[in-house]
Amino acid sequence: MNTELLLGDEAIALGAIDAGVSGVYAYPGTPSTEIMEYVQEYVKNFQEPIQASWSVNEKTAYEAALGMSYAGKRAMVCMKHVGLNVASDAFINSAITGVNGGLVLVVADDPSMHSSQNEQDSRFYGKFAMIPIIEPANQQEAYEAIKYAFDLSESLKLPVMLRITTRLAHSRSLLKRGHQREQNPLNPEKNLRRFVLLPNNARINYNYLIEQQKSIIEISENSPFNKIFEGTHLSKAIIAFGIGFNYVIEVLQKYNLSIPVLKIGQYPLPEKKIKMFSDKYDSVLIVEEGYPIFEEILKGFFGNDKFKGRLDGILPRTGELNPDIISNALSIKTKVYYEVPEIVRPRLPQLCQGCSHRDLFDYLKKILSNYPNYRVFSDIGCYTLGALPPYEIIHSCVDMGASVTMAKGAADAGFRPAIAVIGDSTFTHSGITGLIDAVNDNSPVTIIISDNRTTAMTGGQKSSGTDRIVSICKGVGVEENHIRKIEPLKKNEELNIKIITEEIEYNGVSVIISERECIQTAVRKKRQQS
């Protein structure tokens, strides 16, 4: 057995490789990105026959994994929590079709919104789809949970979700590596109707999924991830979920407390185990990283006040937990280890010096000062920082792709000029369909694709449309003479302002592609060459 020092994300990647995965599909998103990066590096270094490619978005990633599972092989699909909103159609329906080869969905939630628009809790989705969820408490468990999840998926013929959060994804720990097993052979689904969700088949499958629930709960009752840790306290106990267990154990050990703990790492909830455990105590602290989903269920409609947690303010309602928060909930006054000096104040993030988005925003600021009451719809990527000083030139960031369609909606309302700013990766992720809507209605919109030839925000992964953005726009029907390319450099300012102004004045769909390589990627490439 080897020992490795790995991030939670890397532990998952290695877990999948060792579990005999044949395909890993993903779209980048913090804090899940390093899973695919590790697999790709491993495949490159060890020539493993594993398909490991970035998909154009989370839905295509999920569907590719489902196709691989249909063919009988094991597939893993990885995304951040909001990515599951994009993949949710495929995800929910895959619980109705079921799977063939093991299919594991890894979804990384971001409580406290370190790099996200919200802190939604993916366990809701798992419950919604009625499939098992595994929530590891540490890196070793994450590594082992992947094999367990593949086996569970293959025995139940259902997708299995593995839910992690930022702190586990992005912290390192030593772990013991097991053996690498063989991949599955090709063995396509034999039941030719199972994956055809026509109403007649879907009803049969759905009823079967409902029937399976009893046995899925029974598996949870006996799961190695759901375990009681005895303690001597007679009236107080803790139920700790996922990484919450890590925080709880740290506090109990540090302060030498002997409070009984029920650790939950597999859902649906093991109802009998929870009842048997909590019946013995007057007060049970519920430690969930994320929404108080199960606290609410345990409290019940009339609010059983034995269960305490985020809903009654013992723990904060929002944001990430940590050992200090748990200590306070257990009425332990914790020491502040360090004072943050006055000089250290949070600073707003900034675009890099030399970033191509900067020049574009300089142009837009100059052009739009001529339009009273202007608004610019935008999207998610480095360019979102254009909402902050010194630019303050963009006015929306909702979900990937929304810039194009929101600009269209505003144009439909009569708002002029209706401008969208979107990055190249976001454009191929989910901007293209909105552009087709705009073309179909000949909406007066100006779509500016700020193409830095990479997915910069998440660390510079390959962008699906590089070198093909013009042909994509042509292909979806934008008139050729209203697809304009500019190179955002100081020396081109006059020409670029003229081009952008012409297209803003045009009463139809126009696309401006502002193309210059991300400064970080350019520097990295240069370093590799020297």
Ligand X SMILES: Cc1ncc(C[n+]2csc(CCOP(=O)(O)OP(=O)(O)O)c2C)c(N)n1
Q: Does 55 bind ligand X (CB under 6 A)?
A: no
Per-residue 3-state assignment (H helix, E strand, C coil) for 383-394: HHHHHCCCCCCC
When asked if residue 82 is in the footprint of ligand X (CB under 6 A), the reply is yes
Distance CA 508, CA 497 (A): 19
Q: Minimum distance from CB of 387 to ligand X (Å)?
A: 13
489-528 positions binding ligand X, by CB under 6 A: none
Any contact of residue 386 with ligand X (CB under 6 A)? no
Q: Does 8 bind ligand X (CB under 6 A)?
A: no
Question: Which residue stretch of 3-11, 329-337, 449-457, 502-510 sits at the interface with ligand X (rule: CB under 6 A)?
Answer: 449-457
Cβ at position 451, least distance to ligand X in Å: 7
Question: How far is residue 192 from each of residues 70, 189, 322, 394, measured CA to CA in Å?
Answer: 11, 7, 49, 50
Find, among 354, 357, 350, 356, the residue nearest to 390 by Cα. 350
Query: Given the complex with ligand X, which of 100 and 463 has the nearer CB atom?
Result: 463
Decide: helix, strand or coil at residue 494: helix
Min CB(525)–ligand X separation in Å? 15
In 3D space, the residue among 135, 133, 134, 143 whose CA is nearest the CA of residue 172 turns out to be 143
The residue ranges of DSSP E strands in 209-352, in sequence order, are: 227-229, 236-241, 261-264, 266-267, 283-287, 307-308
Task: Work out which of 400, 435, 439, 512 binds ligand X, going by CB under 6 A.
Answer: 400
Residue nearest to ligand X (CB): 423
CB of 512 to ligand X, least distance (A): 15
Q: How far is the CB of 358 from ligand X (least distance, A)?
A: 11
139 close to 6: Cβ distance less than 8 angstroms: yes
Neighbours of 269 (CB within 10 A): 21
Kindly tell me which residue out of 209, 252, 432, 456 binds ligand X, with binding defined by CB under 6 A: 456
Rule CB under 6 A: is residue 120 a binding residue for ligand X? Answer: no
Q: Binding residue for ligand X (CB under 6 A) from 94, 226, 455, 496?
A: 455
Q: Which is nearer to ligand X, 245 or 427 (CB)?
A: 427
Question: Which tokens sit at 318?
Answer: 């929002």
Decide if residue 169 touches ligand X (CB under 6 A): no
Minimum CB distance to ligand X smaller for 28 or for 136? 28
CB half-sphere exposure, 179, CA atoms < 13 A: 3
Backbone phi, psi, residue 199, to 5°: -50, -40
Q: How far is the CB of 368 from ligand X (least distance, A)?
A: 20
The count of chain residues that interact with ligand X, using the rule CB under 6 A, is: 23
Taking the least distance from each CB to ligand X, the nearer of 19 and 457 is: 457
Task: For 344-386, give the DSSP string.
Answer: -------PPTT-HHHHHHHHHHHHHTTSTT--EE--SSGGGGG
Q: Which of 153, 220, 425, 514 binds ligand X (CB under 6 A)?
A: 425
Report the alpha-carbon distance of residue 530 to residue 524 in Å, rounded.
10
What would the DSSP string read from start to end of 71-112? TT--EEEEEEHHHHHHHHHHHHHHHHH--SS-EEEEEEE-TT
The answer to the question of residue 166 lying near ligand X (CB under 6 A) is no
User: Angle at CA 225, nearest 5°, toward 222 and 231?
Assistant: 90
Phi, psi of 298 (to 5 degrees): -70, -35
Does residue 86 interact with ligand X by CB under 6 A? yes
Least distance to ligand X, CB of residue 246, Å:
26
**Does 447 contact ligand X by CB under 6 A?**
no
Amino acid at 29: G
Only segment of 76-84, 197-205, 256-264, 362-370 that touches ligand X (CB under 6 A)? 76-84
CB 234 within 8 A of CB 313: no
Q: Which stretch binds ligand X (CB under 6 A): 46-54, 293-301, 385-393, 424-432?
A: 424-432
- From the list 28, 31, 136, 444, which residue makes contact with ligand X (rule: CB under 6 A)? 28
**426 is a site residue for ligand X (CB under 6 A):** yes
Binding residues for ligand X, rule: CB under 6 A, are: 27-29, 80, 82-83, 86, 380-383, 400, 423-426, 452, 454-458, 463
